[in-house]
Structure 1
């Protein structure tokens, strides 16, 4: 599957990460002991097959999501370089390193004591392991539990287990509050999530889809037979979308491709779609919509706010 926008590349790599992850160091399901604190964090620490003898002080993150997680748990001062797509938080030490096409020699030149990746492209994990550089692979999450587990693992490995536990608990609490007061409906509202103007989307099988499910929405892509081998990221036709007549259109291509409610309205045949007629075309932040870190709460809040405006 080929895409001409960054969002498809992100989707493709997310799928690849889930399949390639079995070849590399996997994150553990173990959580830090209750009552542990960063001040009391002791090393060595083991997550999966990875053991760190001491707290890492020169972390290289080649995953925008991992970068957000590391800073959220208080490990930002230990991060010395991030990939060229890591743009949040703004003060993250951005470099020309690539997470899409990682180069072992360029990474090694940063003399890291921990590298965090979301993809094992070109067997980069083996390459770095050969160079005796510790590597943690944090594949694209399929569920919120995957996200919580990755935050927990990063907390353990960086010496911030308590902060990591606080972040995951805060996420859980915020999500529970957001969905608690949603109105009960006899029929679910439907939606189309747009990854790019070529009409690639995400089904409910994906992490993205699972967030919409929390808001009680039904994905029009689930009823399509277009998914096939697309791994949850099918390309729909205009005819399929217009015929499905979604109540909402969520645009995750506002930055990459300058899509907006106005550009959607101007598409041939879309003016009569319920989402367009009712001004329920919602512009998302591309970055937040494509990551599975703490800001997923912001993504859900945008969705819930849109849904809450529709009378039950």
Structure 2
């Protein structure tokens, strides 16, 4: 799994189940606005000059004429045929919701799940992506449903009522993320916009990484999913984002086979990471002061040298256009540390 594309945590749930559920819809990767500019693609297109608007309309018309389309998600055995351009889309995955609006398909979205809180204009409902209610979903008369996994046999149930489902599981790396954005574009009649977004994301991320100064020594880091010290290894989507900067993940040496291990305080303290990234600021009120107040953590380099970085939980747990924001945040932290010597 990756970014533990995850999201939404009201009151903290306990143990591995809480963390796994969080990461499934969202994380784990994947704060995931330079990027805000990306997620505003749809708005920019609507506000464009008359000539640009005409071009966009012509492009959309051509893509609409291309239906029916078969959409296959690379790395999976899932394929779906969309007979005509969908006009009533239900999104049950926050990452997909963000991407839909970023590629200009927002006006086709009639309902999103209760965790899809971005962008603000997304039609948020009580629908659950974790425990989907088929009757509630079909109540919106969808002609396409987007989900991150086949929870509760979602696909089979909706196929019975002739509603296609596009499954976009959490990607393992950026290439898979780009492929999923492209798949969304193809399925919704916005392929050109999706390809443009992918090119922009790829270019922005490449430039950020290239322009980030290389520290004199290889830096170590700890990524925190919650105050129970669940973390993510380098095998996850979020771990690979850090890997772009050559950072060493202290969770990799924790032992075990899971991608989201629960670390002990002793392990983190002894690993003495140069950087600590907190993906539990919104859910659990964690910040640099809270980390410094933990017994024994005052000696950790990241705490001592102002290397504790507060992330936006949602951006750090979703795979979508705002991953560029996450990359930029990591770059800023690495740059500050490198400049400190």
TM over 0.5: yes
SS at 2:221 equivalent: strand
More helix, by proportion: 2
Aligned to 2:176: 146
User: 1:11 deviation in Å?
Assistant: 2.0
Distance 1:15 1:127 in 2: 26
Alignment root-mean-square deviation, CA: 1.9
> Per the alignment, do residues 13 and 56 of structure 1 end up closer, same or farther by CA in structure 2, a change over 3 Å counting?
closer
1:114 to 128, 144, 148: 144
1:10-63 CA distances to partner (integer Å, 9 max, x unpaired)? 1255799xxxxxxxxxxxxxxxxxxx9323112111113311121000000000
Contact 2:25 2:94 in 1 (8 A): no
Structure 1 outlier segments of 4+, above 4 Å: 4-8, 12-16
Aligned to 2:275: 248
Cα offset for 1:182? Answer: 2.1
Aligned mate of 2:60, from 31, 34, 38: 38
Measured in 1, the distance between the counterparts of 2:27 and 2:191 equals 29
Q: After TM superposition, list the pairs within 5 Å mapping 1:42-191 onto structure 2.
A: 42-48=66-72, 49-185=79-215, 187-191=217-221
Q: CA separation in 2, counterparts of 1:116 and 1:53?
A: 15
Q: Tell me the secondary structure at the aligned position of residue 60 of structure 2.
A: coil
User: CA separation of 1:6/1:284 partners in 2, compared to 1, >3 Å: closer, same or farther?
Assistant: farther
- What residue is the counterpart of 1:302 in the other structure? 329
- 2:295 maps to which residue? 268
The match for 2:51 is none
Q: Which of 268, 271, 279 matches 2:306?
A: 279
Contact 2:178 2:198 in 1 (8 A): yes
Q: Distance in 2 between matches of 1:199 and 1:159?
A: 42
Could you tell me how far 1:285 is from its partner in structure 2? Answer: 0.2
- The Cα shift of 1:185 comes to 3.9
Separation in 1, partners of 2:80, 2:235:
29
When normalised by structure 2's length, the TM-score is: 0.81
The alpha-carbon distance between structure 1 residues 92 and 104, as it changes in their structure 2 partners (threshold 3 A), is same
Residue 43 (structure 2) aligns with: none
Aligned length: 290
Please give the per-residue CA displacement for 1:278-307, whole angstroms capped at 9, x wherever unaligned.
011000000000001010000010010011
Residue aligned with 1:279, SS: coil
Matched residue, 2:76 = none
Matched residues in 2 for 1:15 and 1:294: separation?
A: 14
Gaps of 5+ in 2: 1-12, 29-57, 73-78
| Separation in structure 2 between the aligned mates of residue 7 and residue 99 of structure 1, nearest angstrom | 15
Deviations 1:103-128 (A, max 9, x none): 11111111100000002111111111
Structure 1 alignment gaps of length 5 or more: 17-35
The counterpart of 1:11, out of the listed 23, 37, 52, is 23
CA distance in 2, matches of 1:153, 1:12: 20
Higher relative contact order (CA 8 A, sep 6+): 2
CA distance in 1, matches of 2:108, 2:210: 37
CA contact (8 A) 1:203 1:233 kept: yes
